[in-house]
Amino acid sequence: MMLHELTISELTTRIGRREVSARQAMQACLDQIHRTNPSLNTFIKLDPEKALADADAADRALAAGESHSKRPLLGVPLATKDVIAVKDQPLNCGSRILGDFVSPYDATVSRKLKEAGAIIFGRLNMDEFAMGSSTENSAFGVTRNPWDPTRIPGGSSGGSAAAVAANQCYAALGSDTGGSVRQPAAFCGCVGLKPSYGRVSRYGLVAYASSLDQIGSLTKSVPDAALLLETLGGHDPLDSTSVPQPVPRFSHELTGDIRGLRLGIPREYVVGGLDPEVKASVDNAVKHLVSLGAEVQEISLPHTEHAVATYYIIATAEASANLARFDGIRYGKRVEGTDVIDLYARTRGSGFGAEVKRRIILGTYVLSSGYYDAYYLRAQKVRTLIRSDFTRAFEKVDAIVTPTSPTPPFKIGEKANDPLQMYLMDIFTISANLAGICGISIPCGFTASSPRLPLGVQLLGPALGESTLLRIAHAFESTTDWHREQAPV
């Protein structure tokens, strides 16, 4: 196995034994980026000299006696979605409106990664302001799927998922507002974890929809996802929505034993438009979990049919408020006008892309006088019903198993002119954000087509139920080989 193909745990073991250096690991990633990024367009900003200097600093720390027992990510090259602040790195959110803005501070997750010894290098492409399901909406161009460059990698964290799948970095951070970590993980054949709302601080994450956003990880294995959650989780006084709960040692709870755990299969998730190969792979995944000792029962989440409409009212309403700050006066690359109103119009008109404009307009509409009660208030009430559905379900089961996406990754441009079809790609993932629960997507198969395309199965757990979720995912992963497949880049 090539150096850049290792998981985090495999890499830290070799670094700890002095078999390889952090500089060699960083150089392996940079070489892979140089070879593959022209065709994939995952990294949109990169400073190789700074990356290698940081790797040299990690090697010096190791030589001075630092260890992975205290700094578990020491010398590990990681990258981040271009919506999370890293001090002295560009922060563009996949948009033209921020111009050459450079972050003056670290997000809490960035600070924690650095304290754990990680080398945070490079900015990863994304749908503009995290609004999209395909990474076709970026001002920096389309990102392509490493398994088939004619197809999308998913979104909005498509750059993060594609970079991990292409072995350009050992793991990456993303954000998940309605499935933006889990869906690209499924499309690119990697592990995508969305923690419970409040488990990981959002300080330093540029907000899309504040009541839905959560920072998550894209990794090559479930143990890597557990390690990153241990590192990133915990209460943060800088984030008022951060939950004051202790963070379990998730990596110590990956026992592989899921005997007696109850898994729910929601009848509402067998929908029209569900691809037969997706259904077959998820059915096989359920059978495999049963063979490992899990028990399966059918459950009902009766308000699922309203989830997409509810999400796109709440998310766009919050987006219209959050993005109001990008006006060329407080934030944003200013385009001068004849007066203040003209300045606003020119700045936002030229700075935002079509999808962002669409969602701002929709969000402004549902919050406007005369429509607030009919749309936004009603959506919040339905959100409460959706959350109650999950609360009742988790009284009967320990986790829920669903497809991650209704289809395999689709062709670039296939749904670009049909927003409704694009929004429906989130049908299996958005409910978890509305309810504030945790979810993970893991590889569970491939299509029969050539080239083969990855398929993912989603596991959902109750709020702060990541321990059980990761244990189930690890039991599946450690007894299957889907996650070991390498993209043909």
Kindly list the catalytic residues. Answer: 81, 156, 180
Tell me if residue 157 falls in helix, strand or coil.
Answer: coil
- Ranges of H-type helices in 43-95: 48-63
Q: Among 216, 139, 122, 144, which residue's Cα sits nearest to residue 178?
A: 216
CB 78 within 8 A of CB 173: yes
Query: How many CA within 13 A on the CB side of residue 204?
Result: 28
Count the helices and strands in the chain (H runs, E runs).
15, 11
Distance of CA 318 to the CA centre of its chain: 19
Tokens 């990698």 belong to which residue? 153
CA dihedral 73, 200, 133, 120 (to 10 degrees): -30
| CA atoms of 120 and 173, how far apart (whole Å) | 10
Write out 195-221 in H/E/C secondary structure.
Answer: CCCCCECCCCECCCCCCCCCEEEEECC
Q: How many residues does the chain have?
A: 489
Tell me if residue 444 falls in helix, strand or coil.
Answer: strand
Q: Which uninterrupted H or E stretch holds 170?
A: none
440: which DSSP letter? E
Tokens of 130: 């995290």
CA dihedral 486, 94, 119, 215 (to 10 degrees): -80
Q: Which uninterrupted H or E stretch holds 104?
A: none
| CA atoms of 244 and 185, how far apart (whole Å) | 29
CA distances from 365 to 45, 137, 177, 343 (A): 35, 22, 21, 22
Tokens of 191: 């592990």
Strand partners, 399: 263
Q: Among 307, 274, 296, which residue's Cα sits nearest to residue 384?
A: 307
